[in-house]
Amino acid sequence: MPKLKHLLIAVLFACLTFSNPVSAQRDATGADPIFEYLGLERPANWETLSRDQRFQLLEDLGIYPENGSKYQGQIPSDLSLYFEKQGLTEPENWADMTFAEKQNYLNQAITKKDNISPQEVIQENPLSKLIGLDIFNLNELSWKDLFLFFGYWAERLVIIIMFVKPAVVIFKTNWLKKIFSWRQTMGWLSTLLYFIHALGFIILYDLFGLAAWNKAYLIWGGLAGMLMLILGITSNKYSMKLLKANWKKIQRLAYPAFFFILAHTSLSKHGDLRKFLGLGGFYLIAKIVEIIWQKRKTNV
């Protein structure tokens, strides 16, 4: 018989799957007015690019939508990074210039770019990807890159914490047991990293008013953050003594927190629940195998 907690996880999983208003209405169109405003021709391979590649291309140009939203055809209001990347000063009358005038102006940058060293051309390499930071271009590090870096590691630690329990039960290796014994420390560290990440983005994207929290990925992030704070604060011997039997119940908040984090990062990166369903589904399978394994052990 499945226990109540397992049913709850399954219900939560189903709710998240079908309650994604933002991704349903999002798409990566709206590029034409953006490119026109930037004074650029739309790239010839635009139609063949995936949604993520399109966002990446726009970000590489140095333009970001406001408040951390994704592009839906809105004209970027802040072009400072765009011009900075081109090595040009932003003309005051940019908005009034014709497309041809803008192209003429940008041609100066193209001539300058011919002198760029190969180092500057490196956008991404496997090591940077692994670390979550473009370590070969630290001089171009933006606040966004930095706060994302903290978020990546907060999420990675949570993933390790969640998967290590089924892994230890199934594989029983010593190195997994060692990682298992570090769970509390990893929990504290991930709370600290998430806190810097969240605070950073709250300031960077001006998320102080409730109205700014109108994106599904932010709401899931906020909920996950609240649960992580509760978990981080109560993960110590003093709280254990104080809360007695309730302590274990509070620690179970790690499960919804994990799924909320996956929903947050999945929607933020892809605008859909692909990652949430993939990793979340894999975790559910691992958990079911763990329970079966444990039952078999007690029956022997």
Complex with ligand HEM: residue 87 or 278, whichever CB lies closer: 278
Sign (positive/negative) of CA torsion 69, 70, 74, 77? positive
Binding site for ligand HEM (CB under 6 A): 68, 144, 148, 151-152, 154-155, 158, 190, 194, 197-198, 201-202, 205, 207, 218, 221-222, 224-225, 228, 261, 264-265, 268-269
**Least Å distance between CB 70 and ligand HEM?**
8
> Which two structure tokens, joined as six digits, stand for 5?
């907690």
Task: Determine contact, residues 23/272, Cβ cutoff 8 Å.
Answer: yes
Rounded Cα gap, residues 136 and 283, in angstroms: 34
**Least Å distance between CB 58 and ligand HEM?**
11
DSSP codes of every residue in 12-68: HHHHHHH--HHHHH--S--HHHHHHHHT-PPPTTGGGS-HHHHHHHHHHTT---GGG
> Amino acid letter at 88?
L
Complex with ligand HEM: residue 105 or 152, whichever CB lies closer: 152
Residue that is written with structure tokens 């008013």 in the block: 209
> Which two structure tokens, joined as six digits, stand for 202?
């709250």
Complex with ligand HEM: residue 9 or 158, whichever CB lies closer: 158
**Least Å distance between CB 268 and ligand HEM?**
4
Q: CB-based contacts of 211: which residues, under 8 Å, 6+ apart?
A: none
**Least Å distance between CB 59 and ligand HEM?**
8
**Least Å distance between CB 203 and ligand HEM?**
10
Rounded Cα gap, residues 289 and 6, in angstroms: 13
Residue that is written with structure tokens 């947050």 in the block: 264
Complex with ligand HEM: residue 55 or 169, whichever CB lies closer: 55
**Least Å distance between CB 151 and ligand HEM?**
3
Complex with ligand HEM: residue 83 or 152, whichever CB lies closer: 152
Complex with ligand HEM: residue 12 or 88, whichever CB lies closer: 12
Complex with ligand HEM: residue 156 or 165, whichever CB lies closer: 156
Task: Determine contact, residues 30/74, Cβ cutoff 8 Å.
Answer: yes
First vs last Cα of the chain: how many Å apart?
A: 19
**Least Å distance between CB 167 and ligand HEM?**
20
Complex with ligand HEM: residue 94 or 195, whichever CB lies closer: 195
- In 3D space, the residue among 233, 255, 234, 254 whose CA is nearest the CA of residue 243 turns out to be 234
**Least Å distance between CB 17 and ligand HEM?**
19
Rounded Cα gap, residues 201 and 188, in angstroms: 20
